[in-house]
Structure 1
Amino acid sequence: MSLKDIIKQPEGRRLEFKEAIPTKAELEKTIVAFSNDAGGVLYIGVRDEPREVVGIPEGDLIKLEEQVSNIIHDNCYPIIIPNISSVVFDDKFLLKVEIYRGNNLPYYLKASGKTQGTYMRVGSSNRLASPEIIAELERQKRNISFDSELIYEKAFSDIDITNLLAFYKEKTGEVLDENSLKKLNLIVPHQDNLKATHALVLFSNDPLRESMFQNANVDCARFKGTTRHEFIDKKTIETNIALQAEAAYNFVLKHINKGAAVKGIYTKDRWEYPVIAIREVIRNAIVHRDYSLTGKNIKVAIYDDMIEITSPGRLSPTIDFNELEAGQSDVRNKVIAPVFRKLGVIDQWGNGLKLISEELKDYPEIDFKWMEIGLQFQVQFIKKNYIAPKEDKGFGFLVDEYGLDINEIEKDLGERSLVILKMMSENSKITSSELAEVIEVAEITIKRDIKELTDKKYLDRTGSKKTGDWLIINQKQD
């Protein structure tokens, strides 16, 4: 990329602009953050907002280079060796400070120490690294992964892996015996015993998985419209990670349309979205997510105008989604990934990104976007020509299908009751807590509304309290 094109780029994970040399504290944090992440380049002599090349006086270049070099040498640890050079753009001089990803992780500010001085690049800002991130950097230095770490809470022989054994046999035709578990590093000899790794627990249905990895799940949701204000259906996939990809993919297929498309002289069925590409993104999210990060599940969100998949953990520094056909392959989870290869979910040649690229060529009406949001990686499949329907309350079908007098209900019980009826018509198993979450009122308020709807013969309940269904009473049949 030419310098002219670089200067047009927004600041981000690998790029920063400064009009003049930043403060010592700002410079230290940027250099440390670049070293801990994918590396990066700082251009001095470029105003960011509005973007303008202001340059540096030629006579100040050597002095400025020495000043930057000394700050980095004196204040960053372990030693960081920058590549500092001057470049010319439109007859103006810039100082280019290039930092490479370091091998002696983590890097931090000497004065602050490791726990308070380690910074990571998040978007275009430098953020203090959490203990989880520092631990991950130390694992990267030792070339080990979180999923390969050992479990001491429970003996390997006491962990329930019956579902994994059956699934492995079904997919590979092989028996996953003790020797196979060792070869796959799912169990590791340790002090005359066999210890399970984090990966084995994630593949298991043992209660230990739920207690140790409460966020190793996939949240799926179909929202009404183009926002998250109202959902039609939702599901949290809490099974072991071997089964999650298929379950999430099936949820997507359930909520998108399939129609007929003419190709040549033949008519073929065609999904409204590139489902192979979506399948590969879901698989990659599960295989390559950062399982050391707590508090976030993978999220698969379906809107009227797009499908959005978000995975905890940033994209590996060596992977570029702008080069989908390059056959890129990198592994965050060094134990999990080989197991998925054996199961046939991924291959070792980076063909997943190629499959995404190839199918997108057949969907010119779909825009493919990816971005890093904090410590998460997000992919979007967006309908370019989406036209939003005319805005209305969406209650007309309650009249058409059930013969309800919506004006009377709104006057007597309020619009919230109409919203409840509408959501129950779309999801008969919806709970009062889920209704409260979406409508953003207290659950006791929802329960009172439901009681009024039931008492006034608009609503009934069939089946048990836990697993039953809501039934809107059809007034046409009265």
Structure 2
Amino acid sequence: MTLKDTIQQLEGRRLEFKEVIPTKAELEKTIVAFSNDAGGVLYLGVRNEPREAVGLPEANLMEIEEQVSNIIHDRCTPVIIPDISVVSIDDNYLLKVEIFRGNQPPYYLKASGKNKGTYIRVGSSNRLATPEIIAELERQRRNISFDSELIFDKALSDIDIANFKAFYKEKTGEKLDENSLKKLHLVAAHQDQMKATQALLFFSDDPLRKEIFPYAKIECGRFKGETMDQFIDQKTIDSNIALQAEAAYEFVLRHINRGAKVKGVYTETRWEYPITAIRETIRNSIVHRDYSLSGKDIKVAIYDDMIEITSPGTLLPSINFTEMESRQSDIRNKVIAPVFKKLGIIDQWGNGLKLIAEELKEYPEIEFKWFEKGLQFQVQFIKKNYVAPKPDKGFGFLVDEFGLDIDAIEKNLGERSLVILKMMFENSKITSIELAEVIDVSESTIKRDIKELTDKKYLDRKGSKKAGDWIIIKQK
């Protein structure tokens, strides 16, 4: 990507533009936020509205570079070493300040201290870190994960993992004894006693799980139309996490359609959405979600025009969704992920995004989008050619818009003829086969009804049999 292309990008998690050097407070917040997250680049000398390179005075470049360097050195801690360089575009000089992901988080403002001076990047803004986020940053520094921390509220022997043991035996053929728990790091020694990790609690059906982690669940919803205004169906999946993926996947299958088409001498079935990609997305949302964020659960939302899956936690810094076909692997939950692999719920490392990308090629009518929304990651499978159905007007519109005598039609031709006219109004290209399927009569019956409507000048056909349209004739 050229520099011209770069400055036309939207500001975001890894990119920021400023026309002039920002205030010390603004600059130091951006620098520590980049360091605490995935790193990032700040360009000085770029106007935001309209987005264009206006440059910095050439005579002042060295002074500005030194000023930026001093602010970072004097006001941020631990030590952050920026890569500062001068770049040019159309004879305009810009200062490029590149900050790399730090290996000693949390980074914070010296003057404010860790608790009040730690900032993280959320979209294109810098946000003061909460205590739970600071704790997560400290875990990153120690190279441990949230799911590996120990449970002290209950003795290991008192935690109910009976269902998980049975599931583990069914999937692996192995017994989940203490030795296996140790190898999987689901338990660990503490002062001569074995303690359960938080990961084991997530896999358990113990009441303590719902008490400590009530948000470790999936909320599924099927909505009418394209908004959340009206539920058609909903389900809360709060079982142990080993069972959640399949339950959410089954909810999706229950609310999407599967069609059939003849190919050669065979009949092939095909779901309206890429179900392997959806299953993989659901699995990834459970394996890679940020369990340290309280009050946030996974959401699976099915609308008329798309399926949307939202998971707590931002995308891991090393993962790039724009390069889905490359095998990328990074693990947030260092205990949960290997257990899922052992259970066969996830495939080999780095294969998930590739599976999604490959199946999407077979669904050109589905658009795949992904977003980082606050501290959540969201993907959408969108029907490109979706057309919202027209509001149900009953049969009255046949009178208002076409002057039809609906009582006479019902008496002489039957209510089915009114249904046919209504469906043709809603979809002028509907076929006799489709009408027969919806109304649940034979195609020959539909053809006979259509002939009667045509003979009595209620209905006409414009165009060919394959590409034409049904036209309701206005009555004088």
TM range (shorter): 0.7 to 0.9
Residue 145 of structure 1 is matched in structure 2 by 145
Aligned residue type for 1:271:
W
Instruction: Quote the Cα distance in structure 2 between the aligned partners of 1:330 and 1:131.
Output: 24
Matched, 1:257 2:257: yes
Instruction: Quote the Cα distance in structure 1 between the aligned partners of 2:230 and 2:302.
Output: 12
Residue 320 of structure 1 is matched in structure 2 by 320
**Could you say what secondary structure the match of 1:86 adopts?**
strand
The alpha-carbon distance between structure 1 residues 38 and 369, as it changes in their structure 2 partners (threshold 3 A), is same
- CA deviations on 1:272-295 (whole Å, 9 max, x unpaired) are 000000000000000010111111
- CA deviations on 1:312-339 (whole Å, 9 max, x unpaired) are 0111000011111110011000000010
Q: Quote how far apart the aligned CAs of 1:264 are.
A: 6.2
Aligned residue type for 1:355:
L
Instruction: Quote the Cα distance in structure 2 between the aligned partners of 1:386 and 1:17.
Output: 37
Matched, 1:164 2:167: no
Matched, 1:385 2:381: no
Matches within 5 A, 1:24-423: 24-263=24-263, 266-392=266-392
Residue 4 of structure 1 is matched in structure 2 by 4
The alpha-carbon distance between structure 1 residues 23 and 276, as it changes in their structure 2 partners (threshold 3 A), is same
Residue 120 of structure 1 contacts residue 128 of structure 1 at CA under 8 Å; is this kept in 2? yes
Residue 329 of structure 1 contacts residue 348 of structure 1 at CA under 8 Å; is this kept in 2? no
Instruction: Quote the Cα distance in structure 2 between the aligned partners of 1:167 and 1:191.
Output: 31
**Could you say what secondary structure the match of 2:325 adopts?**
helix
Aligned residue type for 1:301:
A
**Could you say what secondary structure the match of 2:315 adopts?**
coil
Aligned residue type for 2:228:
R
Residue 298 of structure 1 contacts residue 312 of structure 1 at CA under 8 Å; is this kept in 2? yes
Q: What percent of counterpart residues are identical?
A: 76
Instruction: Quote the Cα distance in structure 1 between the aligned partners of 2:166 and 2:37.
Output: 40
Aligned residue type for 2:275:
V
Aligned residue type for 1:46:
V
- CA deviations on 1:427-470 (whole Å, 9 max, x unpaired) are xxxxxxxxxxxxxxxxxxxxxxxxxxxxxxxxxxxxxxxxxxxx
- CA deviations on 1:95-119 (whole Å, 9 max, x unpaired) are 0000000011000000100000000
Q: Structure 1 stretches of 5 or more lacking a match?
A: 397-478
- CA deviations on 1:298-354 (whole Å, 9 max, x unpaired) are 000000000000000111000011111110011000000010000001134311111
Aligned residue type for 1:110:
K
Q: Quote how far apart the aligned CAs of 1:393 are.
A: 7.5
Instruction: Quote the Cα distance in structure 2 between the aligned partners of 1:208 and 1:92.
Output: 61
**Could you say what secondary structure the match of 2:7 adopts?**
helix
The alpha-carbon distance between structure 1 residues 327 and 265, as it changes in their structure 2 partners (threshold 3 A), is farther
Aligned residue type for 1:361:
K
Instruction: Quote the Cα distance in structure 2 between the aligned partners of 1:266 and 1:16.
Output: 55
Q: Quote how far apart the aligned CAs of 1:27 are.
A: 0.3
Aligned residue type for 2:76:
C
**Could you say what secondary structure the match of 2:382 adopts?**
strand
Higher deviation after alignment, 343-352 or 123-132: 343-352
The alpha-carbon distance between structure 1 residues 394 and 303, as it changes in their structure 2 partners (threshold 3 A), is farther
Q: Quote how far apart the aligned CAs of 1:263 are.
A: 4.9
Q: Quote how far apart the aligned CAs of 1:57 are.
A: 1.6
**Could you say what secondary structure the match of 2:104 adopts?**
coil
**Could you say what secondary structure the match of 2:329 adopts?**
coil
Instruction: Quote the Cα distance in structure 2 between the aligned partners of 1:33 and 1:278.
Output: 32
Instruction: Quote the Cα distance in structure 2 between the aligned partners of 1:341 and 1:394.
Output: 53
Instruction: Quote the Cα distance in structure 1 between the aligned partners of 2:9 and 2:173.
Output: 50
From the CA coordinates, give the structure whose radius of gyration is larger.
2
**Could you say what secondary structure the match of 1:326 adopts?**
coil
Instruction: Quote the Cα distance in structure 2 between the aligned partners of 1:40 and 1:255.
Output: 41
The alpha-carbon distance between structure 1 residues 394 and 32, as it changes in their structure 2 partners (threshold 3 A), is farther
Instruction: Quote the Cα distance in structure 1 between the aligned partners of 2:106 and 2:90.
Output: 38
Instruction: Quote the Cα distance in structure 2 between the aligned partners of 1:201 and 1:234.
Output: 26
**Could you say what secondary structure the match of 1:96 adopts?**
strand
Instruction: Quote the Cα distance in structure 2 between the aligned partners of 1:28 and 1:395.
Output: 66
- CA deviations on 1:406-425 (whole Å, 9 max, x unpaired) are xxxxxxxxxxxxxxxxxxxx
Instruction: Quote the Cα distance in structure 1 between the aligned partners of 2:91 and 2:265.
Output: 60
Q: Quote how far apart the aligned CAs of 1:246 are.
A: 0.1
> Where does structure 1 differ by over 2 angstroms across 4 or more consecutive aligned residues?
261-267, 391-396
Instruction: Quote the Cα distance in structure 1 between the aligned partners of 2:298 and 2:91.
Output: 49
Instruction: Quote the Cα distance in structure 2 between the aligned partners of 1:179 and 1:291.
Output: 26
Instruction: Quote the Cα distance in structure 1 between the aligned partners of 2:206 and 2:351.
Output: 32
Q: Quote how far apart the aligned CAs of 1:60 are.
A: 1.1
**Could you say what secondary structure the match of 2:322 adopts?**
coil
**Could you say what secondary structure the match of 2:157 adopts?**
helix
Instruction: Quote the Cα distance in structure 2 between the aligned partners of 1:263 and 1:280.
Output: 28
Q: Quote how far apart the aligned CAs of 1:5 are.
A: 1.4
Instruction: Quote the Cα distance in structure 1 between the aligned partners of 2:100 and 2:296.
Output: 30
- CA deviations on 1:45-102 (whole Å, 9 max, x unpaired) are 1011211111112111101100100111110011111000000111111000000000
Residue 444 of structure 1 is matched in structure 2 by none
Instruction: Quote the Cα distance in structure 1 between the aligned partners of 2:33 and 2:266.
Output: 55
Give aligned pairs, total: 396
Instruction: Quote the Cα distance in structure 1 between the aligned partners of 2:17 and 2:395.
Output: 52
Instruction: Quote the Cα distance in structure 1 between the aligned partners of 2:121 and 2:47.
Output: 20
The alpha-carbon distance between structure 1 residues 395 and 292, as it changes in their structure 2 partners (threshold 3 A), is farther
Instruction: Quote the Cα distance in structure 1 between the aligned partners of 2:18 and 2:2.
Output: 19
